[in-house]
């Protein structure tokens, strides 16, 4: 049987269960009144910050929501970056990153580390969500984005950098979403070709084709 | 390696030669040592990639905290992840089950719609004839 260990309670919106620990009843007793102290203590004392992604996911699948929080903390910035590159919109990128993590939670118990790398699986979920989001909002013009990093030091350099950045962003918006996703996985996420191809559900040659077209398009736009 | 092949590979693998296949990267380095035109193309491609990298955006601290809280709030109230059961492993066999059901339905339909087979009257009379023979004995 499972015992829910209530760690934290919100004032509004009901209780939040951050840990659900599987405990078995001791012999001669049908139900344990409290979880075994040593087992609960071991779970609470887990070094989540040092754990691998796969370990955190396995703990999450067993009900350790603190482990999942650690996983979110670790991957949300990269997911946001990926989604922002594909959607070109800060609010949409937030939605996609959050939704990707929630999908990971739902499917945590089904993830098989022998069949796929966690990073590839996570990026595939986020990429698909972001591409879907872009298709839904195809006719909506992207909102001006203020989340870009601050440009260079001098005013001239700032202006030049800003101009260059605007041209890149404008060129990316004209590019098909899958090409943007290929660029994001290859450059922003610095994934290997095979891993990026797996995240996009294409062959390595397919990824090279997407990147080739994207680079050619981008170079043409920046040279205009 | 000639310039045409170099440009083709440059478009496929990008300006960072460390990300090229080892053999092609070695040949490209040899070409770059000789050809000023190849070096110009490489610098131009590197410039585009630098501009691309400079345009990426990271979430600020507030956005990150907002996303983390959103995920934690939903996960805290969500049911535990569901472990794959027997049906999950049988899912690949579903097409076979579907095929069997379709075949069964087709057979049933055929039996319902098919005209009955005409029976031989002699077959029905045989027991009666036997009874008559026995009674005459």
Q: Which of B56, B50, B51, B48 is nearest to B11 (CA)?
A: B48
Nearest C-alpha in B relative to A71? B68
| Contact check, Cβ <8 Å, B76/A16 | yes
Helix, strand, or coil (residue A201): coil
In this structure, is residue A32 part of a structural domain? no
Shared domain for A51 and A139, answered yes or no, is yes
Shared domain for A201 and A139, answered yes or no, is no
In this structure, is residue A142 part of a structural domain? yes
Q: Which residues, listed in sequence order, are joined to residue A4 by a DSSP beta bridge?
A: A20
In this structure, is residue A224 part of a structural domain? yes
Shared domain for A107 and A19, answered yes or no, is yes
Which A residues, 89 through 118, put their C-beta within 8 Å of a C-beta on chain B? 90, 93-94, 97-98, 101-102, 105-110
Nearest C-alpha in B relative to A73? B68
Domain that holds residue A67: 1-24+46-147
Which A residues, 143 through 182, put their C-beta within 8 Å of a C-beta on chain B? 145, 147-149, 161, 164-165, 167-169, 172
Shared domain for A9 and A67, answered yes or no, is yes
Is A68 an interface residue toward B (CB < 8 Å)? yes
Shared domain for A220 and A142, answered yes or no, is no
Shared domain for A15 and A95, answered yes or no, is yes
- Going from the C-alpha of B15 to that of each of A205, A208, A212, A217, the distances in angstroms are 18, 13, 12, 15
Which A residues, 24 through 53, put their C-beta within 8 Å of a C-beta on chain B? none
Shared domain for A61 and A112, answered yes or no, is yes
In this structure, is residue A141 part of a structural domain? yes
Yes or no: say if B11 and B24 are a contact pair by the CB < 8 Å rule: no
In this structure, is residue A29 part of a structural domain? no
Distance from CA of B115 to the nearest CA of A (A): 52
Q: What is the pLDDT of residue A50?
A: 87
| Contact check, Cβ <8 Å, A168/B54 | yes
pTM of the model: 0.72
Per DSSP, the residues of A107-139 read HGGG--TTTS-HHHHHHHHHHHHHHHHHHHTTT
In this structure, is residue A220 part of a structural domain? yes
Q: Of A94, A114, A147, which residue constitutes the final position of a domain?
A: A147
Q: State the total domains in chain A.
A: 2
Shared domain for A140 and A163, answered yes or no, is no
Q: Nearest 5°: CA angle at A16, between A10 and A22?
A: 155
Yes or no: say if A53 and A10 are a contact pair by the CB < 8 Å rule: no
Is B18 an interface residue toward A (CB < 8 Å)? no
Shared domain for A67 and A166, answered yes or no, is no
Shared domain for A175 and A208, answered yes or no, is yes
**CB burial class (10 A; 0-12, 13-18, 19+) of residue A213?**
middle
Q: Which residues, listed in sequence order, are joined to residue A15 by a DSSP beta bridge?
A: A9
Q: Of A147, A182, A198, which residue constitutes the final position of a domain?
A: A147
Distance from CA of B56 to the nearest CA of A (A): 7
pLDDT in tens, chain B (137 residues): 899 999 999 999 999 999 999 999 999 999 999 999 999 999 999 999 999 998 888 889 999 999 999 999 999 988 888 776 666 666 666 777 778 888 889 988 888 887 666 656 655 666 666 677 777 66
Q: Of A102, A132, A147, which residue constitutes the final position of a domain?
A: A147
Chain A neighbors of B91, CB-CB under 8 A: none
Q: What is the pLDDT of residue A114?
A: 87
**Any idea what the CATH number is for the domain that residue A207 is in?**
1.10.10.10
- pLDDT tens for A31-71 read 555 556 777 788 888 888 889 999 999 999 998 999 999 99
**CB burial class (10 A; 0-12, 13-18, 19+) of residue A45?**
exposed
Tokens linked to B75: 């996960």
Distant-in-sequence contacts of A97-103, Cβ < 8 A, 24+ apart: A97/A126, A97/B67, A98/B67, A98/B70, A98/B71, A98/B74, A99/A129, A100/A125, A100/A126, A100/A129, A101/A71, A101/A72, A101/A75, A101/A76, A101/B71, A102/B71, A102/B74, A102/B75, A102/B78, A103/A129
Shared domain for A91 and A119, answered yes or no, is yes
In this structure, is residue A31 part of a structural domain? no
In this structure, is residue A33 part of a structural domain? no
Q: What is the pLDDT of residue B123?
A: 58
Q: Phi/psi of residue B112, each to 5°?
A: -70, -40
- Going from the C-alpha of A135 to that of each of A36, A86, B11, the distances in angstroms are 51, 11, 27
Shared domain for A95 and A197, answered yes or no, is no
Is B5 an interface residue toward A (CB < 8 Å)? no
- Going from the C-alpha of A210 to that of each of A20, A50, A187, A197, the distances in angstroms are 44, 36, 13, 10
Tokens linked to A29: 């007793």
Q: How far apart (Å, rounded) are the C-alpha atoms in residues A208 and A197?
A: 9
Q: What is the pLDDT of residue B31?
A: 96
């Amino acid at each position: 049987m499972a015992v829910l260990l209530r760690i934290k309670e919100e004032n509004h919106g009901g209780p939040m269960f951050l840990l659900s620990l599987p405990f078995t009843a001791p012999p001669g007793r049908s139900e344990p009144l409290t979880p075994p102290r040593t087992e609960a203590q071991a779970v609470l004392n887990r070094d989540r910050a040092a754990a691998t992604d796969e370990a955190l996911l396995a703990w999450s699948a067993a009900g350790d929501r603190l482990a999942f929080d650690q996983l979110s903390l670790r991957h949300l910035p990269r997911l946001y970056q990926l989604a922002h590159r594909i959607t070109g919109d800060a609010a949409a990128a937030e939605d996609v990153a959050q939704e990707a993590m929630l999908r990971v939670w739902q499917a945590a118990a089904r993830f098989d580390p022998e069949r796929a790398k966690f990073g590839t699986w996570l990026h595939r979920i986020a990429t698909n969500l972001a591409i879907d989001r872009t298709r839904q909002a195809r006719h909506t013009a992207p909102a001006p984005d203020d989340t870009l990093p601050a440009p260079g030091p001098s005013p001239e350099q700032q202006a030049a950098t800003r101009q260059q950045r605007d041209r890149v962003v404008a060129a990316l918006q004209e590019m098909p979403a899958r090409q943007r996703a290929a660029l994001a996985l290859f450059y922003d996420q610095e994934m290997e070709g095979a891993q990026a191809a797996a995240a996009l559900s294409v062959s390595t040659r397919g990824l090279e084709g997407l990147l080739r077209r994207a680079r050619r398009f981008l170079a043409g736009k920046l040279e205009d | 390696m000639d310039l045409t092949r170099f440009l083709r590979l440059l478009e496929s693998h990008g300006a960072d030669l460390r990300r090229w296949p080892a053999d092609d990267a070695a040949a490209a380095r040899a070409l770059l040592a000789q050809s000023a035109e190849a070096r110009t193309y490489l610098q131009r491609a590197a410039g585009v990639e630098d501009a691309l990298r400079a345009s990426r955006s990271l979430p600020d601290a507030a956005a990150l905290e907002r996303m983390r809280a959103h995920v934690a709030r939903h996960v805290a109230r969500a049911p535990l992840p569901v472990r794959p059961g027997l049906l999950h492993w049988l899912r690949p066999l579903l097409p076979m089950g579907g095929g069997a059901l379709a075949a069964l339905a087709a057979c049933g339909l055929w039996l319902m719609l098919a005209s009955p087979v005409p029976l031989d009257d002699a077959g029905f009379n045989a027991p009666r004839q036997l009874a008559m023979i026995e009674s005459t004995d």
